Structure 1
């Protein structure tokens, strides 16, 4: 098995216990795609890289990179944590879900320089306080082609028109213009505001986003649409998404003012 020692840029996707003293740590790297690393002795007291392999860490490392199978981390050069994500349960949940989707969408060792940058930017935006639900929607929409689902989101799936009101049709794999709504009686009956954001999010550059204001009703509609597409057409439902769903049900209670009268 070919190996070589080199620097790499990595976003820590997850880590898990391995044997008594070690961790398995999975990184999305800029240079080599997703790679699993064995970090020996990581549980020992005084381990010098403890802070460098915490969840939601990004940085530059030196590794013994294997073409296939486990690689090894030798040292960390410069790392930092997304502090707000690490300390906020809501940001944490959305960020974890994004990383789970990316981990599921691509095979290990496939070079993904574009997605490395997108994931980094998505985490950066969430960490800076942008609405994590909307950042997650953008990632979900732009990630669909990696799962083999590429709905037509810029024009009508039947005639290609771009100048009429739209609705979403699962049967036709994308948008239908108003002239062809009758072709699918089971179209989703989305509002034009929801359609607007769906179209924008499919092509938006995360680097150009600094603020997004979306009404709660539209945010809810986008969440329902993504859930429907991922459940019925993609078939992906990571454990992190189940936790996110649960969190959304008890979040209003958690955030309520305990002094409010019934």
Structure 2
């Protein structure tokens, strides 16, 4: 009888543990998906902004006074933009929110060449922007065209990463308040290649590739849009539950295939 009772008790505890893990995992996966959706909207809005600016500049392609005032207003209205500029057809900056960059030649840059060669909008992955001292940014670029479709230059913006991190921290705060959970929470944003460009552990931000390190959540996110996994924490070597979700295309915006952990 004692053996039977112990067996039933063990099964009950295992069932409770399994359900608790599943509940926590599903909640974390939903939170990751919520963050991913907000990221998609944030980036889609930046996509729309650069298209609108390019269309406006195409109407007045040589009015530098108007263009200078326009980029200044945009930067004031949207602090997420660290720098905004426009080039001529040769890739030289003709107006910019930082006057010191006017005249610089960016014709060799991929964002200029890709748009010049026919792409409607180019959104680059995260990389340092040396002009502003090296902060991580996203380049968003669209062509300026003439009345017959001729290429006249580009409009290009640098979106700061801090705006993306605010999306995460704001969502986590809402999650804590909604779920009543105040335990330890960590998060990462991964590029398509697996590099953690936003990390709640600032000492490892941008220094690790979680796909190359074989982290299960990073690997499985390459095959599934959103779910959760039980895994071992790479640095603390303790069991954790990780919810994940991938960013997706939205409207005409193709997306960057990032992963939220």
Q: TM-score, normalised by structure 2?
A: 0.30
More relative contact order, 1 or 2 (CA 8 Å, 6+ apart): 2
Q: TM-score, normalised by structure 1?
A: 0.30
Q: Which has the larger radius of gyration?
A: 2
